[in-house]
């Protein structure tokens, strides 16, 4: 019987969620949904020194914002819990001790001071085949000494005993066959002195317990693969081992190395999904959500970082991504992050979004400008008029504010040099002749006919009219704006504009 697809996203609750982490979650989610499987959130909180209060809730909020809701999680447990590693602590020691008993691991009693001394004396020191017999561990101590140290509660770790002269190979779903020389891999700690497992032991024990079928993770974990594969073998679980896929890195815009938070700070764009507030310092790191990205656009752009469906199609809904997703279309090479392209995705999504979807965000931004929107139908009409001009959701405030409030300042400098009393009279006459119930086309025809009769080219009068209505050189068609504002409001703004320019 074919194994049911069960995949996991397993972040550590140590801070903000990097867009690379969200992409890992997304690829897990797409694969699970494509194969009618389960997408699981497992919180890897075994490193208590790096644990940050509120980080787990933040991760859950990020996934929910993106629409990547887990089928099983600490908040929505299934039959394979607990879903936090810290709550599974007793199980790890059992397996670590099993590895020691079968000769695949050993107790190490070296103190942190002794290890630091060794590192100082030997540059690039690795605890492994070349050095393990120089250290204080159950391989160099007698069985009696080891038993006494354990009985007296001496702090110790448990390390894997890497074999000599072996090749560890596996088939990566993205990279094909990958091989490692065990002579180049050190004896990683499996169980720390505090009884907590390291990632290496925990990921294997948890994947087995949760019946994970496929493991997607970043390329930076590739060097750890031989340790994990040997653990699956040493624990007698090789037949249950998930299939591996190591995802390409998301690179800096210049392609030179992995994209980091510092790069975002330096270049002025976010690398986190949502705003992250450091609970210790209060420092806020900006996220894509708060910068004005739609979740659909964020998910879409992440999917295209290292994957495509083999066509020129770039805009995908989540449903379309699920239908089109396949592992063989994921690139082995890293994907450069291009913020201008990211904004393009957002602009495309804003253009196709309904005014109803956009309205809550726009209303909130207008309120921040002191503008209360009473007429919802009017707001929807305005949104549809200006959305093609908005790249980020925050752009709506400036692009739409003049529909709700008379401009507080005018771009007088663009009008004044060519302004004349005759033009002022023209606008007063035009305003007086506006009729209720007329269309934008009617007003445009009236404007052009009057301009011609006064000896003006309509083009030279359009910019002053625009600035009277909106305050600057922007916005949709000027007669469309006037028509939405209505006769009375347009007349009022023309009068104020003539005064400002005269």
**Which residues form the catalytic set?**
261
421 by Cβ neighbours in 10 Å (0-12 / 13-18 / 19+) ranks as: exposed
Strand partners, 498: none
Distance (Å, whole) CA 422 – CA 407? 24
- Beta carbons of 200 and 230 less than 8 angstroms apart: no
Q: How far from chain centre, in Å, is Cα 226?
A: 29
Give the Å distances, CA to CA, from 292 to 107, 140, 171, 220, 262: 52, 60, 41, 30, 20
Query: Token digits for 286?
Result: 């900006």
Strand partners, 167: 181
Radius of gyration of the chain (CA): 32
Distance (Å, whole) CA 255 – CA 258? 8
Q: What angle do CA 148, 151, 155 make, to 5 degrees?
A: 95
E strand or H helix at 170, and its extent? strand 167-172
- Beta carbons of 271 and 263 less than 8 angstroms apart: yes
Distance (Å, whole) CA 432 – CA 345? 44
DSSP 141-194: S-HHHHHHHHHTT---EEEE-PPSS-EEEEEETTTEEEEEEGGGS---EEE-TT
Tokens 């090479």 sit on residue: 333
Q: How far from chain centre, in Å, is Cα 358?
A: 21
CB atoms within 10 A of CB 283: 9
Distance (Å, whole) CA 72 – CA 266? 37
DSSP 185-241: S---EEE-TTSPBPHHHHHHHHHHHTT--EEEEEGGGGGGHHHHHHHHHHTT-GGGP
E strand or H helix at 476, and its extent? none
- Beta carbons of 273 and 62 less than 8 angstroms apart: yes
Distance (Å, whole) CA 101 – CA 97? 6
E strand or H helix at 133, and its extent? none
User: Burial letters for 17-38: b for 16+ Cβ neighbours within 10 Å, e otherwise?
Assistant: bbbbbbbbbbbbbbbbbbbebb
């Amino acid at each position: 019987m074919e194994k049911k697809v069960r995949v996991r996203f397993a972040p550590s609750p140590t801070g903000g969620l990097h867009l690379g982490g969200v992409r890992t979650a997304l690829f897990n989610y797409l694969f699970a949904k494509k194969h009618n499987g389960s997408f699981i959130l497992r919180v890897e909180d075994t490193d208590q020194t790096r644990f940050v209060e509120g980080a787990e809730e933040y991760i859950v909020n990020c996934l929910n914002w993106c629409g990547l809701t887990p089928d099983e999680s600490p908040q929505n447990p299934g039959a394979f819990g607990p879903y936090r590693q810290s709550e599974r602590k007793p199980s790890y020691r059992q397996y670590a001790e099993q590895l020691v008993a079968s000769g695949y691991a050993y107790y190490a009693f070296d103190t942190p001071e002794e290890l630091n001394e060794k590192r100082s004396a030997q540059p690039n020191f690795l605890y492994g085949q070349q050095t393990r017999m120089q250290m204080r561990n159950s391989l160099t101590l007698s069985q009696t000494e080891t038993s006494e140290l354990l009985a007296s509660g001496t702090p110790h770790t448990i390390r894997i005993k890497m074999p000599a002269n072996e090749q560890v190979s596996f088939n990566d779903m993205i990279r094909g066959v990958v091989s490692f020389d065990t002579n180049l891999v050190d004896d990683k700690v499996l169980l720390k002195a505090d009884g907590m497992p390291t990632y290496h032991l925990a990921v294997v024990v948890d994947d087995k317990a949760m019946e994970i079928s496929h493991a997607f993770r970043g390329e930076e974990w590739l060097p750890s693969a031989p340790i994990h594969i040997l653990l699956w073998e040493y624990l007698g679980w090789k037949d249950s081992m998930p299939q591996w896929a190591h995802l390409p890195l998301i690179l800096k815009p210049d392609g030179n190395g992995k994209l980091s938070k510092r790069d975002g700070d330096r270049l002025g764009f976010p690398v986190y999904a949502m705003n992250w507030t450091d609970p210790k310092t209060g420092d806020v790191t900006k996220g894509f959500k708060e910068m004005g990205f739609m979740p659909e656009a964020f998910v879409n752009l992440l999917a295209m970082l290292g994957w495509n469906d083999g066509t020129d199609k770039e805009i995908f809904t989540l449903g379309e991504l699920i239908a089109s997703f396949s592992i063989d279309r994921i690139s082995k090479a890293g994907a450069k992050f291009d913020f201008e392209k990211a904004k393009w995705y957002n602009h495309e999504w804003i253009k196709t979004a309904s005014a109803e979807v956009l309205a809550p965000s726009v209303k909130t931004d207008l309120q921040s400008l002191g503008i209360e929107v009473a007429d919802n139908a009017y707001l929807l009409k305005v949104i549809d008029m200006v959305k093609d001009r908005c790249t980020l959701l925050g752009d709506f405030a400036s692009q739409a504010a003049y529909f709700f409030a008379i401009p507080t300042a005018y771009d007088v400098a663009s009008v004044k040099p060519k302004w004349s009393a005759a033009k002022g009279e023209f606008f007063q006459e035009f305003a007086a002749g506006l009729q209720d119930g007329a269309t934008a086309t009617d007003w445009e025809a009236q404007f052009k006919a009057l301009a011609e009769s006064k000896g003006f080219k309509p083009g030279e009068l359009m910019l002053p009219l625009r600035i009277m209505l909106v305050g600057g050189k922007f916005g949709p068609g000027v007669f469309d704006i006037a028509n939405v504002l209505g006769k009375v409001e347009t007349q009022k703004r023309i009068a104020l504009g003539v005064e400002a320019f005269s």
